[in-house]
Chains A and B, each alone.
Chain A
Amino acid sequence: MAEEKVKLPETEEGTTVYNLDPIIIKYHYEMNYIHSYAQDSPFFAGLSKGKLMGSKCTACGYKYATPRSHCMECGAKTEWMELPLEGKVHTFTTCYFGSEEFLDQTPFTLILVEFEGVNTLFLSRVIGIEHGKVHIGMPVKAEFLRLSKFKPTDVYFVPA
C-alpha cells in the first residue's frame, strides 16, 4: 500500500521583498494596549467636564499643574485641585515634522502653560494664532472638546 504523502497546506499570500542581498523583507507588527490611567483617571474625567485637575500636596502644599498622586518634593499624598483655565505660555515650539502618529497634523504648536500660583507646568497645544506669533508670556485660555476622547488632547489652548 502506497504511503500517503503529508503536506502542509499553503496560502497564496506573498512577502514584500525590498532587497535580495542581503534579503530585506517587510514585517508587519501592530497591537492594541489595554491602557489604564489608574490613579491619574480623575484628570481625564475632569477634561470631560471642562475642568483642569491638578494636584496639591497635603503636607508641603506644592502645587502640580500636571497631576501626580504623591508629591515629588516630600513624598506625601496629594489631593485633587481645580486649576485656573487661564495661564501664560512658558515656552513653545512649532513642529513641522513629528512621530508617525502625528505627522498628518503638522505643523502644530506645542506649549508648556504656567498657571498663577502653581509650581509646575502643563503640556498642551495652542491654536487660533499664526505659528510665528506665539511667544513666551502670551496669555492663553483652555478650551475643551465637546466630544471627549479621554485623552490629554481633550484640552487645548487659544490666545486669551
Chain B
Amino acid sequence: MNTYIRTLKIFTRLLSGLFVLSGFTFSGPEKDISIHVKPVFGKQDLLLDKKTYITANHDTISVSKLRFYISGIKILFRDNSVYTENNSYHLIDAEEEQSLRIKLTQVPQKEIAGLHFNIGVDSLASVSGALDGDLDPVKGMYWAWNSGYINAKLEGKDLTKGIEENEFEFHIGGYLPPYQSIRQVHLTTTKEEITPAEIIVIADVEAWFSYISLKKTNRIVIPGAEAVKMADDYTKMFRLEN
C-alpha cells in the first residue's frame, strides 16, 4: 500500500514537472535583461576630455559631452514576435555610468533577430509640456526658445593648432516638418542566440565624426537642414557588439 502511494506521489510530481516544462515551452520564460550602451571611439572606450582623437577628416579633437535619447525600444525575435518596451524614453549620457544601462523587464527568452530603437524623442512628447524622468527639462536636453527636445548632443574641442575658437557643439533636434530629426536605428544580429542577459550596443563617435569636418562646420544648434543631415549620419554610429 505504502509503495503504491509513494509511486503515485512520484508520478504526480513528474506530471506536474512536465506540466511546468510544457508551460515554459508554450509561452517562453521571461527575464529581466539590460541594454548596455558603450560609447567608444574606434576600438577604444570613449574617454571624455582626457584623450585626444584624430578623426577620419584629420581633425584633432577631444570630446567633452555625448548625450542622446534612445526611445521606442523593440526586440525582434526570429519567430517574428516583438518585445516592445512601454513608455520607452532613456537619456544616455557618456558621463553618467548608470545611464548607460537600460533595464528591460520580462523579456521573452527566445532566439533574437535584432534590436530597434529611435534616436530622439517623438513629436507627441515634444508638444506635451513639462514631462518627468529622463524627459524632465531639468536634464538640459530641452530647447527653451524653440520648444522640443535636443535628440543628441556632442560637444568638445578642436585641438588643431592655430584655432582660437576651438569648441565644437552639435545639438541636434527638431520635431516639426520638414526638419524632423528623430531617427530609427535597426540593428540585426547574425549570431544564433537566445536573449542574452545583456545586449551591448556600441555607439562609435569615430563613425559619427567620419561625417564631420570641423573646418567646414563646428556648430549646429538649431533645427534645420544641417541638423536633419547630421541625424541621418549619426544613426550609423550604432552597432551590436559581437
Question: Do A and B bind?
Answer: no
Q: Which residue numbers of A lie inside 8 Å of B, CB to CB?
A: none
